[in-house]
Amino acid sequence: MKLSNKADTRYGQGNYTQGAQFYDNVLAIDPNDSSALNGKGDALRGQRNYTHPYDKALAVNPEDTYALTGKGNALYYANDERISLRKDVHQLY
């Protein structure tokens, strides 16, 4: 089974940590593999880690709509969590 298929399978099973690790293995072979870059972004987002591997995918292909959508979702969810945290803090006082 190809590494990218293993990564996709782990991600699809909700095992985001292993999925990200397999995507890293793919990227070690081809650092510009846009599918692996996007997959890693999705796996990290699944772990609530909103770093932006999508930026690298966009550097490879600025018109990559999947990367644009992924980055937008990551920014949205990161902001949503910050808003939620602020609400929680305000409720304490």
- At 15, the amino acid letter reads N
Torsion of CA 51, 83, 66, 50, to 10 degrees: 10
Residue scoring higher pLDDT (31 or 49)? 31
Tell me the torsion sign for CA atoms 48, 46, 32, 58: negative
Q: Which residue has the tokens 């949205």?
A: 76
CA distances from 66 to 36, 44, 51, 81, 84 (A): 12, 15, 16, 22, 26
Q: What is the pLDDT of residues 35-45, one digit of tens each?
A: 999 999 999 98
* Residues 6+ away with beta carbon under 8 Å from 76: none
**Confidence band, pLDDT 50/70/90 cuts, at residue 1:** low
Mean pLDDT of the chain: 83
pLDDT recorded at residue 9: 95
Structural element, H or E, at residue 21: helix 16-29
Average the pLDDT over each of 7-11, 19-23, 46-50, 86-90 and give the range with the smallest value: 86-90
Please report the domains of the chain, with CATH numbers, ordered by start residue.
3-92 (1.25.40.10)
User: pLDDT band at 31, cuts 50/70/90?
Assistant: very high
pTM for this predicted structure: 0.74
